[in-house]
């Protein structure tokens, strides 16, 4: 069965307390044919998300990190914990673009991050990239595989990763990175090949953001960049999922 996000444009839920910013984003997205709902704070965001869900409409969330009432991280947690919302693509936005802020947003459940102010072309490219990523996952475009990596079990049918019986919660893009590396386990994967596989040629994401994704993925797997047991950085080339990773405690 085709997922509804493939058949129609999703409702873009914009959670932004600055009415000037949300107004510009709403006008731009509606010109591009997207239905849009806006929430001004974290509490209203939960109501808007439930309302869109009740209409059984596919959705994508654009969430500012610094919100009144509830911060953006609480919105991420609500979405990821909700059985009918947990696969919702999330684009985090913020006026702060430090690497720590980006990593924290991705760790909290966002799929991508964009620093304000940003251009509308890049914003639209990020939206389309997230939708395309969701479509490819829904269509199971990656070869199905049940892959055991040391203590990890990678299930590409259900998009799940386990350590023993404990599930490690990954975003879709983190899962895609791990899966792509797993399919080439023991081989060096260049940054260019990984970027192309995830976002296509000339995609909106560069090596700096890729490093952030690798960093958050390592942290969730209990890995280290200094003494990697799983994802190894091959300086000047790219990354490699080690052939015989060391055990990790659960």
- pLDDT of the residue at 65: 95
Output the pLDDT for position 5. Answer: 46
Q: Delimit the domains of the chain by residue range.
A: 4-138, 146-241
End-to-end CA distance of the chain: 36
Are 12 and 59 a contacting pair, CB within 8 Å? yes
State which residues of the chain have pLDDT below 70.
Answer: 1-7, 136-146, 149-151, 157-158, 199-206, 244-250
Q: What's the pLDDT at 33?
A: 94
pLDDT tens digits along 3-43: 444 447 899 999 999 999 999 999 999 999 999 999 999 99
CATH number of 4-138: 3.40.50.2300
4-138 and 146-241 agree in CATH topology: no
Give the per-residue pLDDT at 239: 93
Distance of CA 110 to the CA centre of its chain: 5
Q: In what order do the strands lie in the sheet with 112-115?
A: 36-39, 11-15, 59-64, 90-94, 112-115
SS3 at position 193: helix
Q: Is the pTM here over 0.75, yes or no?
A: no
Amino acid 245: pLDDT: 52
Q: How many CB atoms lie within 10 A of CB 137?
A: 20
Q: What is the pLDDT of residue 244?
A: 62
116: left (phi over 0), alpha (psi -120 to 50) or beta: beta
Return the pLDDT at 172: 75
CATH 1.10.10.10 fits 146-241, yes or no: yes
């Amino acid at each position: 069965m085709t997922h509804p996000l493939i058949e129609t444009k999703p409702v873009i839920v914009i959670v932004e307390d600055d009415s000037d910013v949300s107004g510009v984003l709403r006008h731009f997205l509606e010109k591009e044919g997207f239905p849009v709902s806006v929430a001004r704070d974290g509490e209203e965001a939960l109501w808007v998300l439930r309302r869109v869900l009740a209409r059984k409409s596919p959705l994508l969330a654009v969430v500012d990190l610094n919100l009144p009432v509830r911060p953006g991280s609480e919105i991420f947690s609500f979405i990821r914990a909700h059985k009918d919302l947990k696969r919702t693509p999330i684009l985090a936005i913020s006026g702060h673009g430090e690497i720590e802020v980006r990593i924290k947003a991705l760790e909290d459940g966002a799929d991508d991050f964009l620093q304000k102010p940003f251009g509308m072309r890049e914003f639209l490219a990020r939206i389309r990239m997230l939708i395309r990523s969701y479509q490819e996952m829904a269509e199971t475009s990656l070869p199905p595989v049940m892959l055991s990596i040391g203590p990890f079990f990678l299930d590409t049918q259900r998009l799940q990763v386990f350590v023993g019986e404990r599930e490690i919660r990954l975003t879709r893009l983190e899962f895609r990175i791990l899966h792509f590396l797993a399919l080439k386990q023991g081989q060096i994967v260049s940054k260019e090949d990984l970027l192309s596989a995830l976002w296509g040629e000339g995609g909106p994401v560069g090596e700096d953001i890729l490093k952030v994704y690798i960093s958050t993925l390592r942290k969730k797997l209990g890995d280290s960049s200094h003494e990697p047991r799983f994802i190894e950085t091959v300086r000047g080339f790219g990354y490699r999922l080690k052939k015989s990773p060391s055990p990790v405690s659960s």
